[in-house]
Amino acid sequence: MIHLLKIEWLKLRRYTTFWVLIGLFAALYTMWNYGVAKSFVQMGGGPVNLMSSSYAFPAVWGNMGFIYSWFVFFLAIFIIISISNEFTFRTHRQHIIDGMHRLDFLHAKVGLVVSISLLSTLFYAILALLFGFINGGGNPLQDIEKIGYVFIYTLNYLSFSALITFYIRRSGLAIVILFAYLLFETIFVKLINYKLDTNYGNLFPLQSSDELLPLNALKSLSNMMPSTVAEVPVWIYLVASCIYIVLYYFIVRRKILTSDL
């Protein structure tokens, strides 16, 4: 795997799109959180700011995790472009001709997805610790499990993006399909939950990870309101997300082993 990751790094180190998208993710995520922490970026109307609950511990983990979910799309778009380029420029065939096994090609992309997920999660954790200590108060270990949730969230979204790209092979169309699916899933989940009076519609592939990173203020408000609908335990969303991630891998594995490259 280390050898495969070295090959991926050789492709990326001088790839401008990689640095631009990673830079936008890091810079905009940092700036947005700074704006929210200083209250000149708000969610809500008038004096109401849903993000003002606190950037101190432990609330900072949840607040920054929720905002993180908006910016992960920069990473998803990069994964789509990176994989689609292999098919566009036929470098995947050249790898096979040079002796790389089909599964090595797949595992190189798996390693790339996992590596980016780990590094972006580490970035989130460091930034949350920084904001938390600057704003003071609270226990930094409380709600620290959000770090794991952010990793699973990222891995799910990037793996799903990779799955689409291995089938579509064109970056533009794959990006359109990703956002179209997100819109479809959001509508379908809301419809199922409304019609069946349940929350188990949230177990769809990407929504299951979305439920790991709710907005603290909205979550508190929903808990205060009486409801006859049973709340789905967070561990079920976690398990569902992991099952989907494994499923993506085996679907793509079958595609790689049986299709004509």
What angle, rounded to 10 degrees, do the helices at 234-258 and 146-168 form? 30
Return the pLDDT at 124. Answer: 98
Find the range with the poorest average confidence among 9-13, 113-117, 233-237.
9-13
Q: Is the pLDDT of residue 221 over 50?
A: no
The rounded distance, in Å, linking the Cα atoms of 141 and 58 is 8
Residue 5: Cβ-neighbour burial (10 angstroms; 0-12, 13-18, 19+): middle
How confident is the model over 111-161, as pLDDT tens digits?
999 999 999 999 999 999 999 998 877 889 999 999 999 999 999 999 999
The C-alpha atoms of residue 106 and residue 91 are separated, in whole angstroms, by 13
The CA-atom distances, in angstroms, between 28 and each of 18, 21, 68, 74, 199 are: 15, 10, 10, 10, 32
Q: What is the DSSP letter of 200?
A: G
Rounded to a whole number, what is the distance in angstroms from the first to the last CA of the chain?
A: 22
pTM score of the predicted model: 0.91
Residue 226: pLDDT band with limits 50, 70, 90: low
Exposed/middle/buried for residue 149 (C-beta within 10 Å: 0-12, 13-18, 19+): buried
Cα gap 35→55, rounded to integer Å: 11
Instruction: Judge whether residue 10 has pLDDT over 90.
Output: no
d(CA 63, CA 69): 10
DSSP H helices in 89-215: 91-97, 102-135, 146-168, 171-196, 205-210
Statement: residue 46 has pLDDT above 90: no
Contacts of 22 (CB under 8 A, 6+ apart): 74, 75, 78
What pLDDT does residue 43 have?
59
What does the alpha-carbon distance between residue 97 and residue 87 come to, in Å, rounded to a whole number?
A: 14
